[in-house]
């Protein structure tokens, strides 16, 4: 990504305990070691040797044998015809993503069934056509025409199966969707994949599935998804911290930095809470010149960010008379910012007709203006930093979400390009529990219902997760692809992940999720709140009750560990157990037992490359649990 050098230079000075967005900016430009380059995710994931189940369209009543050495799918038919009768027809377009699509199809079909599909050879009666080919029927062309946003289609027509999209990326998504929904493949994380055991699968001859995602931009800032390969499988198309250009689909790329760009564009102070004057003609000229320069140097970029510097909760924009006048007229400090951003957007639209100008509605600019509207080529990126994630955003009884709801409603009425920057972890201590899995479903739906077309789900982007990073990224990816799924489908994805990733004791982990989620209901959960207030116990014995609760939670993880003898699953259980160890130490320092527990925690964090904090430079040793970091 361009601009990385400057960000490194200016960004490092800015790290502060409250500047969240900046943390993303730093790693986005490669300051942190990314998963993709760390060598951890380069190795091919192992296909879990799980116990046979009947979960994939098994029409037969006889139970599967408990163990056998054959393929995961004993018989795969498409339209009643055995898979061995098919060959793959590759699109004639020369495109790395289309090559990935057909290669992946062949690879996973072979892994599942033992049948290697030819790509070469004579035209056959039965074929699987990947992307645009000369086999396309009128029906396939008509369905493809309707797709948007890298949408995909799975259609059986006249003896052929068509896996296709309106773009090469959409075609790749069609292949992964087919493998998941019809072959039983699972892509849980960069290092955990599985194929469900199945006796017999018959893909029906009348299949005609099409899907165009409502979210144009789908991104998670969870470390494991920085691997382009898992991002492609999860249909994540954000370009922050990952390079998708090498056959993993196209992503929406930025010219210059991702966020908090005004100080660098204007050449003004990068200190948090300091914003340039947006009615100063010299500032405007300089920003415009730099925007044009960046766009000319990055002809493929789709977005340029012209966004405010990072700030604390009490931050404000320029308070000069001219800026204040615009803000007062619009009833929000967004008045001066949007006036400025609209001017830039109008100025560049003729030379760069396909480029959007992205700005933040963040902290003091969150409220929408009274009469001013964003220009057609402006993206408003609304940030949920102040919200409670223990309750859904549309919970009428949660006061911190009420104001956000009003703001998003106002923006959704005046903005066609509404994006959201969302927060999905504990930003004081990444390793602590953040029981938001119950509200994720409601919140992603809520965004879709409010005309949001881009989501950036910020999590722990600085290290692997000692909590539920992989699960959360997986569920977010599923929701961003299809926010219209039912709640039952959401929990089915969760259970399927838990079983595949954590092994036979997965139900203990589901119980942990349900019970910790339930315990957040009576309080509120902001992204900086201590875990002792997130889990609410009332009265004078609340510390004692909380500790007893955490002991019970720890016992669930121990049972999950004991229940599986699969090495990979045990590692996953052990890694995610860190959250409850951390919570126990956080809530009470016990001179007798805590030192040994802390040592265990440190050892495991090093083993699994998990950090406490979002700031990559900090080591586990910098947390001093003896200093009563909990708030009572």
Q: Of 12-20, 145-153, 163-171, 310-318, which part binds Zn ion (CB under 5 A)?
A: 310-318
* Lateral strand order in the sheet of 185-189: 46-47, 192-195, 185-189
**Which residue, 227 or 432, has its beta carbon nearer to Zn ion?**
432
Exposed, middle or buried, 346 (CB in 10 Å: 0-12/13-18/19+)? middle
Q: Of 181-189, 277-285, 410-418, 537-545, which part binds Zn ion (CB under 5 A)?
A: 277-285
In angstroms, the Cα distances linking 334 to 197, 295, 371, 524 are 55, 25, 11, 28
d(CA 352, CA 356): 9
Q: Of 112-120, 124-132, 148-156, 520-528, which part binds Zn ion (CB under 5 A)?
A: 520-528
Please say whether the beta carbons of 631 and 530 come within 8 A: yes
Q: Tokens representing 126? A: 């039965």
**Which residue, 433 or 466, has its beta carbon nearer to Zn ion?**
433
Q: Of 114-122, 151-159, 304-312, 391-399, which part binds Zn ion (CB under 5 A)?
A: 391-399
Cβ atoms within 10 Å of 587's Cβ, excluding its own: 22
**Can you tell me which of 277, 380, 387, 585 binds Zn ion, judged by CB under 5 A?**
277
- Asked if 320 interacts with Zn ion (CB under 5 A), we say yes
Q: Of 28-36, 55-63, 373-381, 396-404, which part binds Zn ion (CB under 5 A)?
A: 396-404
CB of 407 to Zn ion, least distance (A): 16
CB of 631 to Zn ion, least distance (A): 17
* Lateral strand order in the sheet of 418-423: 217-221, 452-458, 418-423, 378-383, 356-361, 303-305, 254-255
Q: Tokens representing 191? A: 């290092």
Cβ atoms within 10 Å of 144's Cβ, excluding its own: 23
**Which residue, 525 or 560, has its beta carbon nearer to Zn ion?**
525
CB of 335 to Zn ion, least distance (A): 11
d(CA 340, CA 336): 6
- 334-348 and 281-297 helices, crossing angle to 10°: 50
d(CA 601, CA 617): 18
d(CA 25, CA 14): 11
**Which residue, 35 or 398, has its beta carbon nearer to Zn ion?**
398
Closest CA to 179 of 78, 82, 64, 299: 78
Q: Give the residue carrying structure tokens 């990559």.
A: 616
Q: Of 30-38, 317-325, 456-464, 560-568, which part binds Zn ion (CB under 5 A)?
A: 317-325
CB of 521 to Zn ion, least distance (A): 9
- Asked if 550 interacts with Zn ion (CB under 5 A), we say no
**Which residue, 78 or 277, has its beta carbon nearer to Zn ion?**
277
CB of 388 to Zn ion, least distance (A): 3
Please say whether the beta carbons of 222 and 461 come within 8 A: yes
DSSP annotation of 182 reads I
CB of 29 to Zn ion, least distance (A): 29
CB of 524 to Zn ion, least distance (A): 4
- Asked if 519 interacts with Zn ion (CB under 5 A), we say no
- 469-481 and 487-502 helices, crossing angle to 10°: 140
In angstroms, the Cα distances linking 577 to 187, 322, 354, 556, 572 are 22, 54, 47, 10, 9
- Asked if 391 interacts with Zn ion (CB under 5 A), we say yes
**Which residue, 304 or 323, has its beta carbon nearer to Zn ion?**
323
CB of 326 to Zn ion, least distance (A): 9
Q: Of 281-289, 343-351, 521-529, 538-546, which part binds Zn ion (CB under 5 A)?
A: 521-529
Please say whether the beta carbons of 17 and 614 come within 8 A: no
- Asked if 318 interacts with Zn ion (CB under 5 A), we say yes
Q: Of 165-173, 271-279, 281-289, 454-462, which part binds Zn ion (CB under 5 A)?
A: 271-279
**Can you tell me which of 388, 440, 573, 584 binds Zn ion, judged by CB under 5 A?**
388
Please say whether the beta carbons of 99 and 173 come within 8 A: no
CB of 283 to Zn ion, least distance (A): 8
By CB under 5 A, the residues from 78 to 137 that bind Zn ion are none
CB of 309 to Zn ion, least distance (A): 14
**Which residue, 398 or 583, has its beta carbon nearer to Zn ion?**
398
One character per residue 148-177, x = contact with Zn ion (rule: CB under 5 A): ------------------------------
- Asked if 323 interacts with Zn ion (CB under 5 A), we say yes
Residue nearest to Zn ion (CB): 388
Please say whether the beta carbons of 124 and 89 come within 8 A: no
Q: Of 204-212, 263-271, 273-281, 498-506, which part binds Zn ion (CB under 5 A)?
A: 273-281
Cβ atoms within 10 Å of 596's Cβ, excluding its own: 9
**Can you tell me which of 48, 74, 304, 398 binds Zn ion, judged by CB under 5 A?**
398
**Which residue, 26 or 388, has its beta carbon nearer to Zn ion?**
388
Cβ atoms within 10 Å of 145's Cβ, excluding its own: 8
Secondary structure of residue 368 in the 3-state scheme: coil
With contacts defined by CB under 5 A, how many residues of the chain interact with Zn ion?
A: 10
Give the CA radius of gyration of the chain: 25
CB of 497 to Zn ion, least distance (A): 26
Closest CA to 429 of 467, 455, 458: 467
CB of 7 to Zn ion, least distance (A): 25
**Which residue, 115 or 316, has its beta carbon nearer to Zn ion?**
316
Q: Tokens representing 448? A: 């879709």
**Which residue, 162 or 404, has its beta carbon nearer to Zn ion?**
404
Between vectors from CA 177 to CA 223 and to CA 469, what angle results, nearest 5°? 20
In angstroms, the Cα distances linking 551 to 364, 506, 576 are 41, 18, 15
**Which residue, 302 or 524, has its beta carbon nearer to Zn ion?**
524
CB of 282 to Zn ion, least distance (A): 11
- Asked if 439 interacts with Zn ion (CB under 5 A), we say no
Q: Rule CB under 5 A: which residues touch Zn ion? A: 277, 279, 318, 320, 323, 388, 390-391, 398, 524
């Amino acid at each position: 990504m361009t601009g990385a050098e400057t960000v490194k230079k200016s960004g490092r000075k800015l790290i502060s305990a409250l500047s969240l967005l900046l943390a993303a900016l730093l790693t986005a430009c490669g300051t942190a070691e990314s998963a993709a380059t760390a060598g951890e995710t380069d190795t091919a994931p192992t296909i879990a040797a799980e116990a046979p189940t009947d979960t994939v369209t098994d029409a037969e009543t006889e139970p599967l044998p408990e163990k056998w050495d054959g393929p995961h799918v004993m018989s795969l038919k498409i339209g009643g015809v055995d898979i061995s009768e098919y060959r793959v027809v590759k699109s004639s377009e020369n495109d790395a993503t289309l090559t990935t699509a057909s290669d992946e199809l062949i690879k996973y079909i072979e892994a599942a069934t033992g049948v290697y599909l030819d790509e070469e050879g004579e035209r056959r009666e039965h074929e699987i056509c990947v992307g645009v080919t000369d086999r396309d029927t009128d029906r396939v062309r008509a369905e493809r025409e309707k797709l948007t946003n890298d949408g995909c289609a799975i259609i059986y027509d006249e003896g052929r199966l068509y896996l296709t999209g309106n773009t090469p990326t959409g075609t790749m998504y069609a292949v992964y969707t087919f493998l998941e929904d019809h072959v039983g493949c699972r892509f849980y994380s960069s290092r955990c994949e599985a194929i469900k055991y199945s006796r017999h699968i018959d893909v029906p001859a009348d299949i005609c599935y099409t899907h165009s995602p409502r979210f144009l931009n789908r991104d998670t800032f969870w470390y494991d998804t920085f691997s382009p390969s898992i991002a492609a499988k999860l249909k994540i198309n954000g370009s922050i911290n990952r390079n998708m250009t090498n056959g993993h689909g196209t992503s929406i790329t930025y010219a210059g930095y991702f966020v908090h760009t005004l100080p660098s564009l204007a050449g003004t102070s990068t200190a948090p809470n300091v914003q340039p004057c947006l009615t100063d003609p010299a500032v405007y000229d300089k920003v415009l010149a730099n925007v044009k320069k960046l766009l000319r140097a990055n002809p493929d970029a789709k977005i340029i960010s012209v966004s405010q510097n990072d700030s604390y909760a009490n931050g404000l924009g320029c308070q000069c008379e001219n800026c204040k006048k615009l803000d007062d007229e619009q009833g929000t400090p967004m008045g001066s910012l949007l006036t400025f951003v609209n001017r830039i957007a109008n100025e560049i639209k003729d030379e760069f007709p396909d480029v959007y100008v992205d700005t933040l509605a963040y902290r003091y600019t969150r409220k929408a203006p009274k009469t001013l509207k964003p220009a057609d080529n402006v993206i408003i990126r609304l940030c949920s930093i102040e919200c409670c994630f223990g309750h859904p955003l549309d919970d009428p009884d949660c006061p911190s979400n009420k104001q956000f709801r009003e703001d998003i409603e106002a923006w959704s009425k005046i903005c066609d390009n509404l994006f959201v920057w969302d927060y999905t972890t504990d930003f004081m201590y990444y390793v602590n529990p953040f029981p938001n899995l119950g509200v994720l479903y409601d919140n992603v739906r809520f965004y879709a219902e409010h005309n949001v077309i881009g989501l950036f789900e910020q999590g722990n982007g600085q290290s692997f997760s000692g909590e539920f990073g992989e699960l959360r990224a997986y569920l977010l990816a599923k929701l961003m692809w299809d926010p219209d799924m039912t709640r039952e489908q959401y929990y089915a994805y969760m259970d399927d992940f838990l079983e595949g990733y954590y092994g036979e004791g997965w139900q203990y982990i589901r119980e942990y999720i349900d019970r910790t989620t339930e315990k957040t209901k009576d309080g509120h959960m902001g992204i900086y709140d201590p875990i002792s207030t997130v889990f609410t116990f009332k009265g004078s014995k609340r510390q004692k009750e909380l500790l007893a609760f955490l002991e019970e939670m720890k016992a669930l993880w121990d049972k999950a560990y004991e229940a599986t003898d699969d090495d990979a699953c045990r590692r996953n259980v052990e890694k995610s157990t860190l959250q409850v160890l951390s919570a126990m130490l956080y809530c009470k320092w016990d001179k007798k037992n805590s030192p040994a527990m802390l040592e265990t925690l440190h050892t495991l964090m090093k083993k699994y490359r998990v950090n406490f904090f979002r700031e990559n430079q900090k080591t586990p040793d910098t947390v001093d649990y003896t200093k009563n970091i909990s708030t009572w």
